[in-house]
Amino acid sequence: MADTIHRAGWQDQPRAARVLRRDRLLDALDRAVSGGFALVVAPVGTGKTTLVEDWTACRGLPARWVRGSVPHEVGWLADPSGTANGRVLVLDDAHAIDAAELVAVQRYIERATPHVTVVVVSRTLPAFNLARREMPMPVLLTEDDLRFRPWEVAQLFADVYEVPVSEAAALDLAARTDGWAAALQLHHLGDAAGRPPMPGPPARDRHATGGRMPGGIAQASGRFLGDYVDREVLASLTPPLVRFLTATSVFDTVTVDRANALLGTATAGATLRALAHREGLVRADPDDALTYHYHPVVREHLRVRLTAELGHGLVRELFDRAADIVGDDGDVVEEAAARARAGNWTALSGLLCSHGGRLTSPESSAWLDALPPGLWRDDPWAGLALARRQLGSGRLDTAAATARRVLDTFHDGPSGTDAAAAQGAALCAEVVDAGVEGMIRRIEDSRLVTAAVAVLVDAADSASRLDDLLAEARATGQVWLARAVLAIALSRQPREWTLTTVRHAAATRAGAGDEVGSFLLECAVVVASLRLGVPDIDLLDRLVDRARLLDWPAAEAWLRAGLALSAASLELPEAAASAQSAAALARSVGSDGALATAYAAMAILCPQSRADLLAQAERLTEPRDADARLPLRPWCWLPPELFRVGRRPDPDAAVTVSTVRTERRPAGSVGGSVGGIAGLDVRCFGDLRVRLGTTQLDLSRVRPVARAVLSALIVRAGEPVRRDELVDWFWPTRTEGAAVHNLHVAVSAGRHALETLVPGQSRAVLARRGESYVFAPDRLDVTDVQRFRAQLRLADAAAAEGHTDAETEALTRTVELYAAHLLPQEGAAEWVVGLREELCRMAAGAATRLAVLHLEAADPRAAIAAASRAVELDSCSDPGWRALITAHGMAGAPAAASLAREGYRRMLRSLGVDAAAGGPVRGTARRRPDARQEERL
């Protein structure tokens, strides 16, 4: 074999196109390099060859591939070192190698390793003598290792197939295919084949039903899968074996006794052992040698074949016979599922009356999926099972409503004995009374939740723990926890689409009434963002409010501590107050971890006490016993220099992140400096335009409500706008919690848009001040509205001091800045109408004052222009009309003066005022600033 390899030359195996890189498997194969031997043993279609191809390509390992059979050259026992040193030999499809050749392969492996890394890829475990001392210890990857986890399913569809699926669809696909690579690939092909010819809804929406595909897609997917199973699995079996598999597929769990009882034989044990040896898709139970499991995809296909061969009637009889057999074993859960598939409602009803408490639990209610739609409305036990399943998925309100509908029927309907009816009614009452408080209590008491959080916060923890947690969550019917585990898995490797998927899942759960589940998913995003070093202040703020609304003090304490730590790491001005508040709440709740996190935030802000505060934080989070999990210390995710002894908070950095410079800029200069960003310029008179230098912000991609919130803050730049004002303007009919949530989302969207213009500085430009938001804090003149007001203040100051020239110059700039009305495209929106009218009146008054100044300076042309602008802005401006008449007269234009006088009279008549009362305006009529202007000075 060595001679064969050397003569052929070592070749790089081309990497398969568009492969999902699964680092956990690549890292496992890396361990084979030191020992020189790896076994990849899994059934057909599990991605064995693809994995090894990807590994050799990713690691840059030259590989020689030998497939199917081994040549019988003399060079088998030659010294494999030399030119082969450090290379990889892949023996693919090793299940096709006969026993004699396997002996030669083993000898080669013993002599070649570790000079050559040998990777054996096979559907079944090769008959190597692994007990020989000369045989290296292999790295073994099995079907379970290659199985796609739900988070890998989500990655596969997003990265490789470019058809993102929801988290519910990823969980459902992983469960129904058991992570079988071929089934996932063929499902995707069937999905593509089943798409309508015209453009339909986005791909992510097609899976919003939790992975249950519409008929066309399901049929296309089933056709591809069925052909594949027939060709790759069943075609290699003898007809008797295929008949055996098909008949026994009526069982969910196949045992030797069940198969013998169904078929009337005594040879089922030998047949099952042969199938398990030949095809990994039939697996022996690791805890019971007489129990076997068919792959779920294969089992469903066999049931389809069975129906096609026998017809629905005979198949129902077979399922009923299977139910009798498993019932004799005492397995009421599988018996109920078989009765439902058989359509034997009488027997199923009797089972429910006898074992309703167990059969209606989420983990034991598979029979519910076989019921015809709407049947649960007639049977109280089916209704109870549905309610408990809804409760397990976190849909508290829906579950309570379902339970209330069926509660009375336990006494009036066919619910069995009085004892059974009482038990059903009690279980219904439990669902009705569960509520948010009960959900939170279950979460706090759940060992699984504690373990899931530990995996999330410890980046080095094994991802296999997530797999165990997910399996246990599904086995116990805690679908809400399964979703949380999937969110944690996605959040551990944050990318734009993964965090977006988790946020979308949170929004979906909120829409379904699962407030607690939505809250937990967003908490996973917060932790992931903090671990990445990019804390999401907006989301933390929002979650603090939601924790308060949920009345969950422990969660609020942790979130407030996280918010304080994030604010301190960014050196936000409110960080100190936030840390003190978080510490106080943590003490009252009794949360040592949250208190330690608040101390860590204080340590960043207080250099003189840094060492003591950090020591206290460490003590508070020390494990209480040897079995305690890794302590949660979020400050360890932050840059170490933040806690360096002797380091002081950088005032410049604090200004850059959260405040603005307070020095006054020259009046009339354009553009502001917010957080160290020079040249930011915003136009509000006319269409909104936000620009930095020559780059203009594209607001077309921002949702209308978020764009309106951003506009409302921009036109009031420099002035804090209270949260309740924003809520009243944009969500007056929503509840407080929903409105505040929407506001946070809108502000976050506005900041996200600003990030494209001012990367890393959006929080400085759009800042939060307590319960208010402010655009361009501390009144920097970044908007034309700010400059308009500033020029008017300068004009008032100049008038008060008698500086006519300065007043004229300031008023000229004021009138020039008012180029159009304030955001006319926003129409009569409440948040803009009053401000628009106020600014218009101010501009008209400024134009009138400017006209008077020009009259006093004997400059009628300039006075005419200013007065015309005044009456254009305010057609009812008495001083403006009179200034215009006087200016035309001074310019020697009697006709124009007459037209102006006639316009003035029409205005007076429209107001019901005597037209004779009007007269020319005198130069001395120019008034000094009023009391309001004096107060502004």
Mean pLDDT of the chain: 78
Please tell me whether the peptide bond between 114 and the residue prior to it is cis, using omega within 30 degrees of 0: yes
* Helix, strand counts (H, E) of the chain: 43, 15
Q: Which has the higher per-residue pLDDT, 7 or 367?
A: 367
**Two structure tokens written together for 874:** 């305010």
Residue 678 binned pLDDT confidence (cut-offs 50, 70, 90)? low
Asked if residue 377 has pLDDT above 70, the reply is no
Asked if residue 625 has pLDDT above 60, the reply is no
pTM score, whole prediction: 0.60
CB 343 within 8 A of CB 316: yes
Which H or E run contains 242?
A: helix 239-248
Longest dimension (CA), the chain: 126
**Two structure tokens written together for 730:** 């944009």
Q: Is 826 exposed, middle or buried (0-12, 13-18, 19+ CB in 10 A)?
A: middle
Which segment, 201-210, 346-355, 511-520, is predicted with the most confidence on average? 346-355
Residue 345 binned pLDDT confidence (cut-offs 50, 70, 90)? confident
Residue 50 binned pLDDT confidence (cut-offs 50, 70, 90)? very high
C-alpha closest to that of 454 among 480, 482, 492: 492
C-alpha closest to that of 19 among 147, 152, 191, 173: 152
Q: Which has the higher per-residue pLDDT, 538 or 585?
A: 585
**Beta bridge mates, 293:** 283
Q: Is 900 exposed, middle or buried (0-12, 13-18, 19+ CB in 10 A)?
A: buried
Task: Report pLDDT digits (tens) over 698-757.
Answer: 887 788 888 899 999 999 988 899 988 999 999 888 887 778 777 877 887 788 788 778
Asked if residue 198 has pLDDT above 80, the reply is no
C-alpha closest to that of 851 among 822, 814, 876, 817: 814
Which of 111-125, 300-314, 371-385, 853-867 is predicted with the least confidence, judged by mean pLDDT?
371-385
Beta strands 88-92; 695-696: pairing state: unpaired
Task: Report pLDDT digits (tens) over 54-66.
Answer: 999 888 888 888 8
DSSP letter assigned to residue 123: S
- Residue found by looking up tokens 């215009």 in the block: 884
Mean pLDDT within 35-56? 91
Q: Is 737 exposed, middle or buried (0-12, 13-18, 19+ CB in 10 A)?
A: middle
339 three-state secondary structure: helix
Q: What is the pLDDT of residue 649?
A: 55
Mean pLDDT within 289-302? 92
Spatial CB neighbours of 805, under 8 Å, sequence gap ≥ 6: none
Q: What is the pLDDT of residue 454?
A: 56
680 three-state secondary structure: strand
Q: What is the pLDDT of residue 254?
A: 95
Spatial CB neighbours of 710, under 8 Å, sequence gap ≥ 6: 699, 702, 746, 750, 753, 766, 775
Asked if residue 261 has pLDDT above 50, the reply is yes
Burial 370-384 (b: 16+ CB within 10 A, else e): bbeeeebeebbbbbb
Which of 229-233, 345-349, 487-491, 717-721 is predicted with the least confidence, judged by mean pLDDT?
487-491
- Residue found by looking up tokens 């492969």 in the block: 19
Beta strands 772-775; 766-769: pairing state: antiparallel
C-alpha closest to that of 783 among 698, 847, 702, 688: 688
Which segment, 10-24, 389-403, 486-500, 662-676, is predicted with the most confidence on average? 389-403
CB 928 within 8 A of CB 798: no
Mean pLDDT within 906-921? 66
Q: What is the pLDDT of residue 334?
A: 93
721-722 β-sheet, strand order: 721-722, 772-775, 766-769
In the chain, the amino acid numbered 591 is S
Cα–chain center distance at 898: 70
681 three-state secondary structure: strand
Task: Report pLDDT digits (tens) over 816-868.
Answer: 999 999 999 888 888 999 999 999 999 999 999 999 999 998 898 999 999 99
**Two structure tokens written together for 305:** 């074949």
Which H or E run contains 818?
A: none
CA 434, CA 428: separation in Å to the nearest integer? 10
288-294 β-sheet, strand order: 254-255, 288-294, 282-285
**Two structure tokens written together for 441:** 């209590």
CA 704, CA 890: separation in Å to the nearest integer? 51
Q: Is 648 exposed, middle or buried (0-12, 13-18, 19+ CB in 10 A)?
A: exposed
Q: What is the pLDDT of residue 663?
A: 30
Task: Report pLDDT digits (tens) over 132-142.
Answer: 888 888 999 99
Task: Report pLDDT digits (tens) over 763-820.
Answer: 778 888 878 888 888 656 789 998 899 899 999 999 988 888 889 999 999 999 999 9
CA 212, CA 512: separation in Å to the nearest integer? 17
Q: Is 436 exposed, middle or buried (0-12, 13-18, 19+ CB in 10 A)?
A: middle
783 three-state secondary structure: strand
For 79-199, list the strands marked E by DSSP: 88-92, 117-122, 139-141
